[in-house]
Amino acid sequence: MRFADRPEAGRRLGARLRQLRDRDMVVLGLPRGGVPVAAEVAAALDAPLDVCLVRKLGVPYQPELAMGAIGEDGVRVLNADVLRGTGVRDDELARVEERERRVLAERAERYRGECPSVPLTGRTAVVVDDGVATGSTARVACRVARARGAARIVLAVPVAPRDVARRLGGDADDVVCLETPWDFAAVGQFYDDFTQTEDAEVTACLRRARRRRPGAGSTEREVTVPAGAVRLGGSLTLPEGATAVVAFAHGSGSGRHSPRNRQVAEGLHRAGLGTLLFDLLTDAEARDRNNVFDIPLLAERLLAATHWLRAEPVTSGLALGYFGASTGAAAALWAAAEGHPAAVVSRGGRPDLAAPRLPEVTAPTLLIVGGADPLVLDLNRDAQTRLRCENRLETVPGATHLFEEPGTLERVTELARDWFADHLAPAHV
């Protein structure tokens, strides 16, 4: 198999990876040659694109031969066989690494500019290059993604040696490769056009990806929400021009890194809605399972986040919504009676745990339940009879309580997006 150029290789690779499309993922291209490939993969998967900054450590007198590689966050991988075979001394290795770390820092500023890196915590990272030779660079890229919090790592390349899995040493959870030829000598031999990728092409690919995905232009920052005597960690994301923000109340002891809620949040970002994902409990509190079901306590924390959002300069003029899951949905409904959000969405919620407060809720409320979750479905039907506000119950066919079935969480995202779009308006005009 031969490839006309890197974009064509990326389109073929994207077609092979389509089974990943429904996952909460980020595509990471290795600059420079891997980014045009990764851009096509990201487009095929409708996923955000970012760079994974790594640098090869070339043998001093033979720079194309990798004796190792380095990446962001101080990650380093050395190829013991190459070091032994070439006799490179420790001081020579140190000089090469110092030079390459300077280049790494310069490229981070050049490629990303003022745009933050795309968050990886709890997500699938698809690491893409134009090919694998020694495997050192790919291994470092996988380790960088792991250090940044990726829950699963897939290395995807058009071409690699037959022993690519051995060369990676288990740093990737999955390896997808279109071609592993018996006569592999170098990546470039399998491309008709293997012209060196310039920095301008890398930045152009990233700009196009941000334009393709409105949510990719969002600003995300880590925040601290004061709640009485405790401080709760959170992530506040605001797409450019956002007119509303949705506070997430996680359920069953999960926190702001919940992959399901992050997937829903990303769908809201694409619709221009901001989100606050924060921990309702401190680490110490979460160890006590009784706190997970202390709905008044969870609601108190959500109200604290409500007050914080309404006081913060960047969010004070935005309409506010609540999105709750499982026990977090009960907290959202309990808090809604006092916090008066503009809209509430419950996913697989336990509204029965907020039964005393349901008649006091005034915000339009959408209850989403899996069609294959009969107990929770009955609880939500009963809750509807107690609600006095505008409300609707939507069932997702075939979905169980956690909405793990293919396509079910995407349906939740669509329903939540449409409900918030219909009911959230700016707090101030």
Which residue, 359, 330, 355, 356, is CA-closest to 344? Answer: 330
Which residue, 30, 31, 37, 35, is CA-closest to 11? Answer: 37
State residue 70's pLDDT score.
86
What sections of 148-198 are H helices per DSSP?
164-168
Tokens of 43: 């487009």
What sections of 122-258 are H helices per DSSP?
136-147, 164-168, 199-212
For 342, phi and psi rounded to 5 degrees? -80, -20
Q: How far apart are CA 307 and CA 223, in angstroms?
A: 14
For 243, phi and psi rounded to 5 degrees? -110, 0
The CB density around residue 402, as the number of other CB atoms within 10 Å, is 16
How far out from the chain centre does Cα 183 lie? 38
Cβ pair 150, 27 in contact under 8 A: no
State residue 112's pLDDT score.
76
- Termini Cα distance of the chain: 59
Which residue, 220, 238, 199, 239, is CA-closest to 108? Answer: 199
State the burial class of residue 233 (Cβ atoms within 10 Å of its Cβ: 0-12, 13-18, 19+): middle
Cβ pair 261, 277 in contact under 8 A: yes
Cβ pair 114, 203 in contact under 8 A: no
Q: How far apart are CA 299 and CA 344, in angstroms?
A: 13
Q: Name the CA dihedral angle for 237, 234, 370, 294, rounded to a multiple of 10 degrees.
A: -150
User: What residue ranges in 43-173 does DSSP mark as E strands?
Assistant: 49-51, 54-59, 62-71, 76-78, 124-128, 152-159
State residue 428's pLDDT score.
42
Q: How far apart are CA 324 and CA 376, in angstroms?
A: 14
Q: Which segments of the chain have a pLDDT < 50?
A: 216, 427-429
List for the chain the helix, strand, coil content (%; round to 5): 45, 25, 35
Work out the angle at residue 362's Cα, subtended by the Cα atoms of residues 361 and 368, and round it to the nearest 5 degrees: 70
Helix axes 34-45, 199-212, angle to 10 degrees: 10
State residue 429's pLDDT score.
36
Q: How many CA atoms lie within 13 A of 419 on its CB side?
A: 28
Place of tokens 């809750």: 383
| Coil vs helix vs strand at 10 | helix
Tokens of 357: 């407060």
User: What residue ranges in 340-385 does DSSP mark as E strands?
Assistant: 343-347, 365-370
- Adjacency order of strands within the sheet including 62-71: 54-59, 62-71, 76-78
Q: How far apart are CA 184 and CA 215, in angstroms?
A: 40
Which residue, 40, 41, 45, is CA-closest to 266? Answer: 45
Tokens of 425: 């308006």
